[in-house]
Chains A and B, each alone.
Chain A
């Protein structure tokens, strides 16, 4: 046999066994521990501050960050699946089951999101300013409230949840079918479906960015926001993929099927999206900074001045400059400890990026008129007076939601961890093998 194709190594362990159940159990434990801790921390915390009436406001802001985080990890991998079929990719086939497990965590992700959707529907008004009754008095916002109403928001959320879950489930299910039937036509069907699916996927992903994150600062707008959000998400998704594949190899599985070339390619994608994110994020900044229109620049004003500028600089250096320069080299992506370092690094900075997107909007300004208390919403007043105001809840909610996500990923790690009858498998197994 030529070296360009290989069959599964006879000693290969590719049955998931109890791996998925164990991961789900560990994830659930992490989720219960850290979300419980977050609730306790919030309960014992003082009264409301930063213009909010409810002391749960910090918790829910952190929740939106954590939810966006786990959503991007799954949505990035769903994209990789669609792309794989769309361009008849080959290299990922050996790790496709792991990618599918990450993408099919989508229903769990959207169930976890009910943690902030249900309070919103129940009338909680200290998370999204557009849900606050005072927003109606703001003539910059009034015309947006048709779109940004809790009910319509929840309807869209359900559409996103069903859409993403169905896409992920369909591709994973068909691929599993091929394990049994070995029918190469399934790959062809998925290739045809992947093109319209990619369009639906792109629209939905951008809309999630607009709805969940951009509307935290409801007066601000940026059309590239969804793309930038997705790019940042893919950095995290590929970093998570690298760690998950390594973790599974540590259990003695897939040791013959996944080689340095696969890690190299995951690393390349992580590198590519690091730059893609920086490119889109800078495009957004550049146009608004240069255009200098108050309705756009106010979002950056609170990130360029005051305490938040240090977070902005940390992201610029830590999320872009440092990993960019080092991931340029071939070896940083091929040597496992180095890849692990950058994967963990980018996973932390991906969180910081989302934090930076959401938390400056946490401080709400309050004014008084004729003795009545009026909330003027986020991003108001002197930026120098806006504090980063770090809270331990920011971290614990995030870790808790990552636990939920791991539980969801574990559900997908069953049966064969290699798509045994995928026609592209021999090519993936021999991926640039030396």
Chain B
């Protein structure tokens, strides 16, 4: 080797076309089947060799034992990784949800083990898989882009159909003749010597690879450099619009200025003196709860004539009431729904109006005013005109009346023949 190197410098003008092979790296032996590979590996192991390896297109079960390889410590590393993931996953959730930023969501506890299991499970899997993958690479000294055995054409077949055993010359028991004989006796179908590269120039890593690594590393740092610059400098330029046609669309949003119309507004309201089709709502009783007369208007005390007052309408009213009203007023109308309870849980004190209080405002209101309250709201209560159709609002009025009756019932309201069953 040293000689070849010297030659290169001393006689650069007449270098030979082909350099001879370098020193012997090892011996390759090909076997016909995985079973024979295992048998041969066992024989080589028993002969005292340590610097050898088996190469096969697929994992051969039992080869590690036949070669005398110690059991891998990878499972322990993976266990540690999994445990880290488990503890980390639980800690992450505790820190975020219960410690750093506790947030009351519907009164649920900020920290609850069952809710944490899926994340903890996934974190365990993730860390186990990553430690398995990278642990395997590190323990196998991968990635290994080059190996002297690659110089053998026969060796390329191990990615396809060859089962190969390679003994390296650095093994202290290595003896070319004896080792070859051992492999031949073990049933090798072909034996081949592999030498190191003899050409000193080809032993160097090509310069362009080094250049490529340096260049691509530098290139990869550019985004970080831009980000670092942006964080530490000011700019008077508007920021870059990557999709300008999405950021600036040719349309007008409501309640914005527009010079096309004389009033300068983008909104086009209803034209004075007109009513949209189906929006006349002329029936004051049904639509507004007002009874018109010569002397003006008053809240109606009855129900609109369009509605048949029956059991089905009460049931409908109950259904709508339970959906829209009970959250504040409570299912019994006494004003202790889930929202006041939540306020109380937070240390506050607020009650919705008691709808069934004897002599209270809600009991005394005419039906029309109740209807109007549902439609347009009252004090802090918002109007429900947009959520609840007119007929349903009347059904709720009817149900509230039924609630008021039932919550203030007296013994006399119970039919005489059922009074006995009350306890």
Contacts and interface: CB of A to CB of B under 8 A. Distances in A.
- A and B: interacting chains: yes
A282 B114 CA distance: 9
Nearest to B66: A434
A143 interface: no
A225 B39 CA distance: 50
B161 interface: no
A3 B39 contact: yes
B34 A4 contact: yes
B269 interface: no
Nearest to A1: B35
Contact of B421 (A282, A370, A432): A370
A290 B114 CA distance: 9
Contacts of A434: 62, 65-66
A289 interface: yes
Nearest to B39: A3
A286 B75 contact: no
A4 B35 contact: yes
A248 B95 CA distance: 54
Contact of A2 (B36, B65, B114, B421): B36
A315 to B, nearest CB: 15
B382 interface: no
A328 interface: yes
Nearest to A325: B79
Contacts of A290: 114-115
B156 interface: no
A330 interface: yes
A433 interface: yes
Interface string B245-268: 000000000000000000000000
Interface string A423-434: 000000000111
Contact of A286 (B33, B65, B117): B117
A282 B113 CA distance: 12
Interface string B345-365: 000000000000000000000
Nearest to A430: B35
Interface in B8-34: 33-34
Contacts of A3: 35, 38-39, 62
Interface string B108-122: 000000110110000
Given A2-B35, A3-B35, A432 B117 contact: no
A289 B62 CA distance: 47
A102 B169 CA distance: 56
Interface in A385-434: 432-434
A326 to B, nearest CB: 12
B36 A282 contact: no
B117 A328 contact: no
A432 B61 contact: yes
A159 B75 CA distance: 47
Contacts of B39: 3
Contacts of B62: 3, 432-434
A263 to B, nearest CB: 16
A56 interface: no
B285 to A, nearest CB: 38
A385 B34 CA distance: 66
Contacts of B117: 282, 286
Contacts of B38: 3
A328 B65 CA distance: 21
A3 B41 CA distance: 13
Nearest to B36: A2
A402 B66 CA distance: 44
A298 B42 CA distance: 63
A285 B114 contact: yes
Interface in B32-58: 33-36, 38-39
Contacts of A282: 117
Given A2-B36, A3-B35, A3-B39, A328 B114 contact: no
Q: Which of A3, A285, A434 has the most CB of B within 10 A?
A: A3
A328 B128 CA distance: 13
B276 to A, nearest CB: 42
Contacts of B65: 434
A433 B63 CA distance: 11
Contacts of A289: 114
Interface string A86-99: 00000000000000
Shortest 9 CB-CB contacts between residues of A and residues of B: A2-B35, A3-B35, A432-B61, A4-B35, A2-B33, A434-B65, A434-B62, A289-B114, A432-B62
7 contacts: A2-B35, A3-B38, A4-B34, A282-B117, A285-B114, A286-B114, A329-B75
Interface of B: 33-36, 38-39, 61-62, 65-66, 75, 79, 114-115, 117-118, 421
